[in-house]
Amino acid sequence: MKTFALSRSTGPGSPDVAGFFDPRTFSVQYVVSDPATRKCAIIDPVYDFDEKTGATATHHADELLAYVADQGLKVQWILDTHPHADHFSAAQYLKEKTGAPTAIGEKVVEVQALWKELYHWPDFPADGSQWDRLFVKGDTFKLGELEVEVMFSPGHTLASITYVVGDTAFVHDTLFQPDFGTARADFPGGDARQLWDSIQAILALPDETRVFTGHDYMPDGREPEWESTVREQRETNKHLAGGVSEADYVAMRDQRDSELPMPKLILHSLQVNIRGGQLPEPEDNGRRYLKIPLDALEDAAWD
């Protein structure tokens, strides 16, 4: 199975993009680098967790660090696109290893407030202070000599954002590969109409923009893929092509989502990821514990 691919810079102002696929969670992690300065950002890193045993590990995050060292790169940013519902974030671990600042969109505070209530954490600081920077819609910042623009992409979650780096866009769960479609919008705080608007904003980027997704579910048993273009998404995405209207899309999305079971790690992962990837503090016996609320996700479909 293909678990790594390098998408080379297309010229000045364009990054190299290394994608790392995790078959356990179907997630893609990225090392995005400026060829001119060798500065890089790590986007949506995975912290390994086995729900059957409760075991944690850093295999995938360490793979990113090994690649960075092998390529002579310097980590300038550790970026999340949103608080993930299907894997733990390794952002905090990588910050400890590299010293690079962590960042996410400012709307994460709304997700924190929502899940703070679900977990019954009255003293939890739902202020985004778990990250070093909270991006505002339209913010720009530098990655080496490359300019990065922050687009807000709500719908899948309240806090979803897209990072546009030169001729690339990191859209995570907003879009999938064209043969799989688009993200669900039924998580707490999700909204299909907002998702439609977010998708239209991404599709308004230049046609040859390279689009990198956060997951791939390998329909029909094909090899993992995670790169497309805006033109390919607009013309061939199974949920968008052929003159689909907003009303048609919302109706399809709402019906489809009503039948989907929740991700198996949603209750495990959100309590880590709204803390910026920080695991729960050890209790007086030295062990860390997760807290799983029962019957909190009302009306969710069962597997």
Asked whether residue 186 is domain-assigned, the answer is: yes
User: Is pLDDT of 275 > 90?
Assistant: yes
Average pLDDT, the chain: 97
Asked whether residue 302 is domain-assigned, the answer is: no
CATH number of residue 134's parent domain? 3.60.15.10
Parent domain of 168? 4-273
Domain count, the chain: 1
pTM: 0.97
Asked whether residue 108 is domain-assigned, the answer is: yes
Question: Where does residue 227 rank: exposed (0-12), middle (13-18), buried (19+ CB within 10 A)?
Answer: middle
Asked whether residue 295 is domain-assigned, the answer is: no
- Asked if 95 contacts 53 with a C-beta cutoff of 8 angstroms, the reply is no
Give the integer Cα–Cα distance in Å for 61 and 98: 12
* Residue 203 confidence class, pLDDT cut points 50, 70, 90: very high
Instruction: Identify the pLDDT of residue 114.
Output: 95
* Residue 99 confidence class, pLDDT cut points 50, 70, 90: very high
Asked whether residue 285 is domain-assigned, the answer is: no
Asked whether residue 293 is domain-assigned, the answer is: no
Structure token digits, residue 75: 């980590």
Asked whether residue 289 is domain-assigned, the answer is: no
Give the pLDDT confidence of 138-153 residue by residue, as tens digits: 999 999 999 999 999 9
- Asked if 46 contacts 254 with a C-beta cutoff of 8 angstroms, the reply is no
Give the pLDDT confidence of 211-248 residue by residue, as tens digits: 999 999 999 999 999 999 999 999 999 999 999 999 99
Asked whether residue 283 is domain-assigned, the answer is: no
CA distances from 43 to 31, 75, 110, 136, 165 (A): 6, 11, 21, 17, 12
Give the integer Cα–Cα distance in Å for 3 and 90: 18
